[in-house]
Structure 1
Amino acid sequence: MTVDKNKLFESLFSDYKEKIYRLCYSYSNDDATAKDLLQESFSKVWSHLDSFQNRSEYSTWIYRIAVNTCLNYLRSAKNKRVEFRDAVPDRKEEEIDTETQINNLYLAIQKLEEVDRLLISMLLDDISYKEIGLILGISENNVGVKIHRIKKQLKDILTKMNPS
């Protein structure tokens, strides 16, 4: 490897830790578990960094590792989801409405299939359709079709959650 492994890892961690954390959180719905999954994912990145073959971007490779780590977690931790709700006093009504909408969106996302949750998480992280396709092994056009269907599903779920 031409670049110092430590510097490369530090750079990759710095660039992707927040996005991978959000991905892990979307699977676990728990801060501590998401941090554990983040750490486990980057531990795997570190241990396999020397064998990275440049067949894809680092981001694609790291996402793939994180997705597999999260899927393994889901298989081993069936039905262990915990919901946390913060009750912070003295907040404006608009802040509460916005927070409620965001919480409802995350709850709706949790009702999606695993692959759909992953896809929408990557979209929320501003990953391009092309990159999402590479990560999931599907065409860019298929990504667009799936995202359109997922958005419709989310709209239906949110409507059922809040019929008003």
Structure 2
Amino acid sequence: MSTPPTPAPPAEAPEEVSADHEKPLIEAARRGDLDAFDALVRRYQERIYTTLYHFTGNHEDAADLTQETFIKAFRALKSFRGDASFFTWVYRIGVNKALNFLKQSRRRRTFSLNDLDERGARDVLRRLVSETTPLRHIGLRELQQRLNAAMQKLSEVHRMVVILHDIQGLPHEEISRILRCNVGTVRSRLFYARQQLQGLLSDLIS
């Protein structure tokens, strides 16, 4: 299985591969074809690793959780019925791994956007705080620290919708399938999270 790469911020929502295109790989992997499963891993590991890194704030933890996600996915392939896409199914496993890790971990819960460059961090801040009002000039390191500190104040479920929507660029409908909740719940969680973040980061608006 491939080693998870260093995370990079996506510029836009990830493009899903059609279910018909993936079906032969999934069927081969079910029969024990490791090369077929590795092809599926390579297709989605970076997106999942990036999400888990943002959630844990630790590269080693994110790498371990990414590996655990795909190990569980491989072992559970026979239970994959195709009701959701493989992307949604494996992402859901990763999200659950992250939430369980944070619940069980005795260490201080962290969050990190330190993999974002200045443009990426400012784009995230605009989506979270204000897409129309100019942002006050602030250095990259301070911007990362402020974003990290603000995100850490959110609950796990609210932080997750922000990560999936505003950072990873997934649409509300996809997030609802990953988190197994309705679209209205996703929208309300995102609205509440943004309200909190706007209060915490409002001084960064010019």
TM more than 0.5: yes
Whole-angstrom CA distance in 2 between matches of 1:27 and 1:43? 20
Task: Report the equivalent of 2:201.
Answer: 158
Match of 1:56 among 84, 93, 115: 84
Structure 1, unpaired ranges of 5+: 87-95
Indicate whether 1:105 and 2:133 are aligned. no
Change (3 A) 1:9 1:107: farther
Give matches, 1:133-148, under 5 Å: 133-148=176-191
Give matches, 1:1-164, under 5 Å: 2-3=24-25, 4-5=28-29, 6-81=34-109, 97-123=139-165, 124-159=167-202
Change (3 A) 1:100 1:80: same
Change (3 A) 1:101 1:137: same
Give 3-state SS (helix, strand or coil) of 1:35's partner: helix
Whole-angstrom CA distance in 2 between matches of 1:157 and 1:122? 20
Between Structure 1 and Structure 2, the one with more helix by share is 1
Contact 1:30-1:81 at 8 Å conserved across structures = no
Give 3-state SS (helix, strand or coil) of 1:78's partner: coil
Change (3 A) 1:106 1:19: farther
Q: Percent identity?
A: 30
Give 3-state SS (helix, strand or coil) of 1:56's partner: coil
Whole-angstrom CA distance in 2 between matches of 1:97 and 1:17? 31
Whole-angstrom CA distance in 2 between matches of 1:8 and 1:103? 41
- CA shift digits 1:50-75 (9 cap, x unpaired): 32110111121112111111122112
> What is the root-mean-square deviation of aligned Cα atoms in Å?
2.8
- CA shift digits 1:6-29 (9 cap, x unpaired): 344223222221221122123321
Whole-angstrom CA distance in 1 between matches of 2:45 and 2:24? 23
Whole-angstrom CA distance in 2 between matches of 1:125 and 1:107? 19
